[in-house]
Amino acid sequence: MESLRDVIDWLELLRQDLTAFFDRESEKGYPKVIRAVQDWIAAHYRENASLQEAAAAVGFNPSYLSTLLKKYTGKSYTESLAEYRIEQAKQLLLLTNEKVYAVGQMVGYEDKYYFNRIFKRVTGMSPGEFKNQNRKE
């Protein structure tokens, strides 16, 4: 590239290519990056799994990744992480004899009160209520 005009033209072509790529991917359902973030959440939900870390793992800017998640899933990164954690917690509550606070820790919530609050927000009931109502006798 020999001039500023060449750079601008190249950037415009790149933008068009990226737009076409995302359009093709959206026709398939979720873009691959959304699946990659969901896979990353599944692998790291027990940790302090931040949006910045997830974005770095998939090679996107955190703000842009957040926008993509909201567009394709209707949820923020935090909501996606919380839902995944709570789904895992529900399984542990049903399949183990672990205490509620221990289950919270297993799925990434160190504070048992915060775990209870998030669990209730997602499911409409406390972890203890969920366990009692769904326990296999």
CA distance 106 to 98: 10
- Per-residue model confidence (pLDDT) at position 29: 57
Q: Which pair of structure tokens corresponds to residue 60?
A: 């996107």
Cα angle 33, 106, 58; round to 5: 15
The whole-chain average pLDDT of the chain stands at 89
Look at residue 103 and tell me whether its pLDDT is greater than 60: yes
Sign of CA dihedral 117, 114, 133, 38: positive
- Can you tell me the mean pLDDT for 116-134? 94
The band of 31, judged by pLDDT with boundaries at 50, 70 and 90, is confident
Query: Between 1 and 137, whose confidence is greater?
Result: 1
CA distance 59 to 87: 27
- Can you tell me the mean pLDDT for 39-67? 94
- Can you tell me the mean pLDDT for 102-126? 96
Look at residue 47 and tell me whether its pLDDT is greater than 90: yes
CA distance 83 to 94: 17
Alpha helices by DSSP H, the chain:
4-27, 32-44, 51-58, 62-73, 77-95, 100-106, 112-123, 127-134
